[in-house]
């Protein structure tokens, strides 16, 4: 007999398909895909739809990959299609500036901005958080590569962003490194320490994306990320249609009719065929090494080119504590390994 657990808090379902999923598409999501997906999402039980380059607004570049479409095109297309749901973007200071990227995004109808910083460098997002709040929109702090900080440091950084004005803080398991027990310990500590909402963003490198998302909710998180057909960097994210089904069946969350979630998943499976993520030996090694999931295509291509074992490269990237945005160093590290062999 199944036991149904009812969550006492309101749960926010945050859809990252058109942003994190853009990593899997090499940032080539088209305006047509954004339009068609958002029309389906608009009648689903999601609360926010995040849209843009995999590394967020302002990130289209030779370093991390050029977008097929401009930020303006993606956002205005999404805004036109979303009449009920809120439009969100990811923003990494360094890629995105307030004047060039954040304010135009707000002018294009963005309701919520997630400001992503390395887990121990939340201070770098203070200016962006302030600008979004002063514009009267929702501002959320995202701590990326969250496995690279102790629980004590996580609590310290979350307390900081609350002081900066963040209305919520989200932990990103950017490397898919955590187990459910890891998530429980971290989310519980943060929930106890701050007075704002706490969220969790899973990656499925170890095959436990859904389990980690549910562990976060059980530990007191009220925001959970998901991606249709799991489309996302590396081995993908917590699969949204699976997450929705479990939230309804086991937790009693009211997400309305589940059919739109299934249609969203089917659309992505059709349009992103050939790009759908899967858990592989390489993704498991990257998770154990604690390396950003988005590095997967770069590691694979360089390893094949240089006839280098991918596992060696993943482990060396982890040993050097490489973080997102350092794609240019992968080839250099690979050549160092070749010189040692």
- Among 85, 91, 103, 7, smallest CA distance to 46 is for 85
Compute the Cα dihedral for 199, 98, 16, 258 and give only its sign: positive
| CB neighbour list of residue 204: distance below 8 Å, 6 or more residues apart | 176, 210, 230, 232, 234, 235, 236, 237, 238, 239, 277, 279, 283
| CB neighbour list of residue 29: distance below 8 Å, 6 or more residues apart | 18, 21, 22, 67, 68, 69, 74
Q: Which two tokens stand for residue 206?
A: 């170890």
User: Does 23 qualify as catalytic in the annotation?
Assistant: yes
Compute the Cα dihedral for 80, 81, 82, 88 and give only its sign: negative
Catalytic, out of 23, 90, 128, 201: 23
Distance of CA 285 to the CA centre of its chain: 20
| CB neighbour list of residue 339: distance below 8 Å, 6 or more residues apart | none
Cα distance between residue 275 and residue 269, in whole Å: 9
- Among 44, 66, 54, 47, smallest CA distance to 17 is for 54
The torsion of the CA quartet 239, 242, 246, 249, rounded to 10 degrees, works out to 160
Collapsed DSSP state (helix, strand, coil) of residue 51:
strand
Cα distance between residue 76 and residue 97, in whole Å: 19
* Residues forming the active site: 23
């Amino acid at each position: 007999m199944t036991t149904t657990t009812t969550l006492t808090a309101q749960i926010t379902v945050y859809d990252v398909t058109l942003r994190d999923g853009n990593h899997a598409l090499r940032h080539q999501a088209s305006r047509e895909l954004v339009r068609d997906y958002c029309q389906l999402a608009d009648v689903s039980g999601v609360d926010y739809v995040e849209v843009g380059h995999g590394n967020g607004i302002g990130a289209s570049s030779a370093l991390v990959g050029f977008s097929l479409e401009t930020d303006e095109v993606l956002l205005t297309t999404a805004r036109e299609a979303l009449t009920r749901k809120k439009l969100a973007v990811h923003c990494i200071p360094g890629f995105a500036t307030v004047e060039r990227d954040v304010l135009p995004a707000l002018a294009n109808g963005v309701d919520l901005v997630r400001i992503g910083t390395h887990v121990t460098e939340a201070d770098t997002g203070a200016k962006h958080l302030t600008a979004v709040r002063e514009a009267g929109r929702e501002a959320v702090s995202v701590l990326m590569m969250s496995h690279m900080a102790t629980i004590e440091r996580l609590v310290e950084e979350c307390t900081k962003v609350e002081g900066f004005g963040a209305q919520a803080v989200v932990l990103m398991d950017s490397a898919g490194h955590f187990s459910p027990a890891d998530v429980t310990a971290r989310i519980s500590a943060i929930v106890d320490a701050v007075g704002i909402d706490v969220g969790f963003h899973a990656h499925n490198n170890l095959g436990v994306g859904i389990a980690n998302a549910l562990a976060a909710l059980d530990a007191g998180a009220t925001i959970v990320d998901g991606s249709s057909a799991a489309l996302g960097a590396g081995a993908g994210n917590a699969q949204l249609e699976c997450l929705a089904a479990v939230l309804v069946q086991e937790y009693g969350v009211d997400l309305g009719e589940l059919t739109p979630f299934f249609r969203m998943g089917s659309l992505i499976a059709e349009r992103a065929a050939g790009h759908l993520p899967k858990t592989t030996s390489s993704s498991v090694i990257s998770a154990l090494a604690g390396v950003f999931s988005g590095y997967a295509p770069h590691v694979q291509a360089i390893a094949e080119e240089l006839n280098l074992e991918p596992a060696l490269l993943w482990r060396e990237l982890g040993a050097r504590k490489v973080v997102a945005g350092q794609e240019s160093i992968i080839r250099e590290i690979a050549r160092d390994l070749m010189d040692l062999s």
